[in-house]
Chain A
Amino acid sequence: MDSKISELRTWLENLHDEPIEIQDDTDLIESGTVTSLQFVQMVIEVERIHGRKLDPGVINIASMRTLKAIDATVFRAA
């Protein structure tokens, strides 16, 4: 998990004025880490960090709900 997830974590942290802690398994929506609109913006950020377009099938709630899920389904996927 590494640099790509760290970069995404930093992007998420920067959405907030106050410091927040985001664990690998923090539910990004339920925890209030992102708003509904920011959840959509996050897809663009994930693509930018990943360096390539996401397969449309990957853009779903299960794949994007936590940093751990994003790492497994996007950054570490073949």
Chain B
Amino acid sequence: MGGVAAVDPARLLAQPYWYRTLPTDTDVHRLDDGVFAMTGNGAVQEVLAHPHIVAEHPLKASARAFGPNVLDSDGADHRAFRALLAPILSAGRVDEYKRALMPGLVEALVDSVLDTECDDFYDTHAHRVPYGIVCTILGIDPALEDRFHTLTRPLARLLDYPTEETEQTHTNVTELLRLIEEQRTAGGGGERSLLETIEQTRDRKGISLTDSEVRSTALLFFLAGTETSSAFITSLVYCMGRGLFGLDELRDPAVRDDFIEEALRLYPPVQTIVRFASEDLTLGGTRVPRHSAVLASIAGANRDPRVFPHPDRFDIGRLRKGSIPFAVGAHACPGALLAKTEFSLLVESLVERCADIVVTHDRRGVASQSFSHPSDFAVRFTAK
């Protein structure tokens, strides 16, 4: 039987590293009636791949806000949603973005931070590259980029834990869906834009999705593609500024990849994933009733000392096996290649153009479970 926590789930989830507060003698924790938490690497991977632990729950905040969508569906419906996104995230397309789209966005970001010190990197700078990429992919007029950012950031709380559901989040969803439809009708993104590609794929493959479901899929692609990357870019800059690794060494592409993978292990943007038991189950000897919420701690899995010795240590030489920053199973992030390509180009540009990156002030805050990033720190970028 798993341990019973002394705090309620909402208070527990308000703590950045909540998994650390739970007993270490088990990976399966009963927190409350109908709420369980999984903390070990094996247990988390089992939950994310379990055939009777599902993403769909009609009462979940995101399902109520977005309607049927890629995040909150399972089985054939989920595969249909993902099929819509597949062409836009293929290796060939990502290579095109790498050559034609990303460099200008990355250089513009680096231009804007050189010889500056800022204490709000996440709010001021981190979103520039991901919003530029995803707006272009989606086929959104670049003039609307700031408007999309203003509307999207607050509604990310709908996917966070504890969830914040307000009139503003619902208003923003409605407005974003309206803007997406307006942009789709205008057709400014051309036939290779996400909105056009989704419709072509739907029609070609005979996928039965309504226009409303297509728009919701586009909005969730936008939200996931921008806010998770904004969060992780903040983590990357933080790791670079903490002096965990010599900047010059990151010129080597292999070292750079290892650096990014280790930062992803320690600072996965999605720290907690919530799933639901579709029938009565037993997990690790603990009975989990049907309909229960199951919290899977990606952060806990990635710092499991049985898989990663000295798990809190930044060590780019360690084996990556078991690190699951993009989750596993049917819902594993389909944009992982796109995201890693973007991160690598950014690190490459920063090390080429900066003599030093230093975190000058650090209260070691961490914000959010679904778009997690270090907070309350200042960083200085010194140009060469």
Contacts and interface: CB of A to CB of B under 8 A. Distances in A.
Interface range, B side: 20 to 34
A39 interface: yes
Given A41-B33, A47-B291, A64 B162 contact: no
Contacts of A49: none
Interface string A35-48: 11101111111010
Most buried by A among B34, B59, B64, B292: B59
A52 interface: no
Nearest to A47: B291
B165 interface: yes
Contacts of A45: 33-34
Query: Chain B at the A interface: mostly helix, strand, loop or mixed?
Result: loop
B253 interface: no
A35 B291 contact: no
A40 B59 contact: yes
A59 interface: yes
A23 to B, nearest CB: 20
B165 A36 contact: yes
A50 B263 CA distance: 49
A29 B165 contact: yes
Contacts of B33: 41, 44-45
A43 B276 CA distance: 12
Given A53-B290, A59-B58, A40 B34 contact: yes
Given A29-B165, A36-B163, A43 B289 contact: no
B34 A44 contact: yes
A25 B235 CA distance: 45
A34 B57 CA distance: 16
Contacts of B58: 59-61
A64 B59 contact: yes
B293 interface: yes
B59 A44 contact: no
Nearest to B289: A44
